[in-house]
Amino acid sequence: MTAYIKKLLLKDTSLEVETCRGWREALGNKVFRLKFFIGLALVISILSALPPFFQVIEARTGHVISDVVLNALRPYDVSTLIFIVLWSAAALMSFRAIQQPYTFLLFLWSYIFLTLTRVVAISVHPLNAPSGLIPLVDPLSNMFYKGGFITKDLFFSGHTSSLCLMFLCMRRAGDKLFMLVAALLLAFLLLVQHVHYTIDVLAAPFFTFCCYTMGKWMVMKWESVN
């Protein structure tokens, strides 16, 4: 079991789905089962706390950054394209997670660390929305925020970091290429709509990689115990 997990998490080349252990076998491992249910509980708790957190940061006053890139880009509403790119990537990630339990566990714990890191970063770096911002219309996300528009969750970009995390978690070369293109396209579209400052987008991959490394450590930890 441990040798397989190391191969899955540490090797960058693609793996065939048929070689991956299924959910029944994974859940039969008490260490996997413990991490799985603790991770789910943490994600549910964090997501439940996010709407009131975002309401607090939306009410505060932050700094405005002089952004050369945004100044050169005329803002356009590309919400539909952003929605398509983001949720297409999420659908592929969900499909692979169903097939590969350890890929799901890796994404789960990495996402926990990523979300907590982002909460801290947003808290200590209050920013006002960029000039020319066009509110991002996402039917799924807006349902989570009860129809409100959150504009000050800026440093660092949650959309960009989510796709970067999906890229890191993917095992197949084709999936990784898709996620890389999606992440680059999404980052550009966010700037076109002036949803984020350039630094928000550029910083996202760095923080994502750090959180991915912590998530990988958590998945590997105690795996020799059965």
Give the per-residue pLDDT at 15: 35
- For residue 19, is it within any domain? yes
Structural domain span for residue 91: 2-220
Give the per-residue pLDDT at 220: 87
Give the per-residue pLDDT at 149: 76
Give the per-residue pLDDT at 4: 53
Give the per-residue pLDDT at 141: 64
Give the per-residue pLDDT at 96: 93
- For residue 226, is it within any domain? no
Task: Please state, in angstroms and as integers, the Cα–Cα distance from residue 108 to each residue in 39, 90, 96, 152, following that order.
Answer: 7, 13, 13, 25
Read off the tokens for 100. Answer: 């590969």
List, in order, residues 6 or more apart from 185 with CB less than 8 Å away. Answer: 85
Give the per-residue pLDDT at 155: 92
CA atoms of 207 and 48, how far apart (whole Å) = 22
Q: Into how many domains does the chain fold? A: 1
List, in order, residues 6 or more apart from 175 with CB less than 8 Å away. Answer: 14, 92, 96
Strand, coil or helix: 201 = helix
Task: Please state, in angstroms and as integers, the Cα–Cα distance from residue 132 to each residue in 75, 147, 150, 195, 204, following that order.
Answer: 6, 21, 15, 9, 22
CA atoms of 207 and 156, how far apart (whole Å) = 8
- For residue 25, is it within any domain? yes
- For residue 182, is it within any domain? yes
Give the per-residue pLDDT at 136: 86
Q: Is 87 exposed, middle or buried (0-12, 13-18, 19+ CB in 10 A)?
A: middle
Give the per-residue pLDDT at 16: 38
Give the per-residue pLDDT at 22: 83
- For residue 207, is it within any domain? yes
- The strand pairing partners of 127, in sequence order, are 63
- Specify whether the CB–CB gap between 219 and 111 falls below 8 A: no
- For residue 225, is it within any domain? no
CA atoms of 216 and 108, how far apart (whole Å) = 10
- For residue 83, is it within any domain? yes
Of the chain, the end-to-end C-alpha distance in Å amounts to 9
The residue among 81, 90, 64 whose CA lies nearest residue 197 is 64
* Cis bond upstream, residue 149 (ω within 30): no
Give the per-residue pLDDT at 83: 92
Q: Which pLDDT tens digits describe the chain residue by residue (226 residues)?
A: 555 555 545 444 333 333 346 888 888 889 999 999 999 999 999 999 998 999 899 999 988 999 999 999 999 999 999 999 999 999 999 999 999 999 999 999 999 999 999 999 999 999 999 999 998 887 666 655 555 678 899 999 999 999 999 999 999 999 999 999 999 999 999 999 999 999 999 999 999 999 999 999 999 876 654 4
